[in-house]
Amino acid sequence: MQHHLPLFTGPYAPGITDVMLDYSDKSPFIRLYYPSEEELDANKQSDKWIPWMPDDSYLEGMAKVLMLYKIFLKIAFWWSKNVKIPAMYGTRPKSTLGPLKCILMSHGLGGCRFLYTNICCELASRGFLVAALEHRDRSACHTFYYKTKADALKDIRSSIEFLHVNFGKNHYTKRNEQLKDRATECKEVMKFLKDLNEGIVPNNVMDETPLHKTSPINFKLNQLVGMLDLDNIVMMGHSFGAATALYTLSQHLEFKLGVLLDPWMFPVKNEQLESTITQPLLFVNTQTFHIEANIQSMSKLMDAKKEHQMFTIKHTTHENQTDTVLLVGYWLNWFMKKINPLKALKINNSLILKFFKDHLKYPENISDCLEILNKEVDNIELGLTKPWA
């Protein structure tokens, strides 16, 4: 196994910085991915790359999500324990690109702010700013906050642990409640970006922590003032995060495009989104996730007049849009013939970038993406995803 995620293919070196907006268990916690001022030279930068897994608390959280003993997950992740992200933490954003197109990313059930690093860093390497939330509704595998500045200075964290919700009559009610909490967070992050762009710069609680005080952090939020294009903001999510994206799009027309990766439609099944979503949508689905009820819910949104597109990447499973399949291989549908996981992510990212090119006229050059899509045409199916029997 390689000791870093695959190198990103855009013309800019991605930067990463964590931002926490208040001393509260309700305050948004996001990881920003963005094009940086750094030279695009992996050989010079590799000693400054950061670990994919920030600490063991997230491994413990993943074990809780999967209802496994931590030791089993540690064995599974043994090969990838020291895997790095080929991006620099706390580096300055590139100041010569003009306003950065912005994307909000919502994670799936049991996810976190770094689970989709390949997708987010690839987009950053193409000139986008991605704000990946770590939701506070107890749907993240693990997250944390600081109660006070004193706690932040000493790195005394207050944990928010994953909540298992049993199937039954209250399942939909709880998931729909979480959905609306998540959408509120998305709205708050959008407001944060708008205020920041206008020069209202909040305190980043993470700047009070030992990590930021003892490391060479050259990123400051004020470097993004006047640097964001918020007329074309994108809402994106995976699984529960894609349901969150759909609901957020229905409530906030400030989001201009939606990217839905393998949406789990159960939490929005009664929301009548087909009558409220007017923005262009891109669905990118895997082959094995969708049962008939999920497909029926998605089909209501497939209105060509609204520029809604759906693609299925063949020979893939629900994990293909996360980083885990790059780190520990496939876990799901063991006996199915599957595509190479990096190839699947390249198809996924190329479909997203083509969608952005069509609707945002950016990035300027996606010739490599079009080449991938042409080469892999047999692994891509356009139209409503078929149910997995």
Per the CB < 8 A criterion, the answer to whether 370 and 281 are in contact is no
Q: Which own/partner contact pairs does 346-349 have at CB distance under 8 Å and 24+ positions apart?
A: 346/372, 346/376, 347/313, 347/372, 347/373, 347/376, 347/379, 347/380, 348/119, 348/261, 348/284, 348/313, 348/320, 348/321, 349/118, 349/119, 349/122, 349/123
Q: Which of these, 269, 285, 304, lies nearest to 381 by C-alpha position?
A: 285
Up-side HSE of residue 352: CA atoms within 13 Å toward CB? 27
Per-residue burial over 184-208, b if 16 or more Cβ lie within 10 Å, else e, is bbbbbbbebbeebbeeeeeebbbbb
Name the strand (E) or helix (H) holding 172: helix 171-197
- Strands (DSSP E) contained in 79-150 are 84-89, 100-106, 128-133, 142-145
Q: Please give the positions annotated as active site.
A: 239, 262, 318
Peptide bond into 363 cis (omega under 30): yes
Antiparallel, parallel or unpaired: β 281-286 and 158-161: unpaired
Angle at the Cα of 60 from the Cα atoms of 111 and 329, rounded to 5 degrees:
60
Q: At what angle do helices 367-375 and 341-360 cross, to 10 degrees?
A: 130
CB atoms within 10 A of CB 238: 28
Per the CB < 8 A criterion, the answer to whether 106 and 239 are in contact is no
Rounded Cα distance, 243 and 351, in Å: 19
Rounded Cα distance, 62 and 53, in Å: 11
Per the CB < 8 A criterion, the answer to whether 385 and 313 are in contact is no
Rounded Cα distance, 299 and 290, in Å: 12
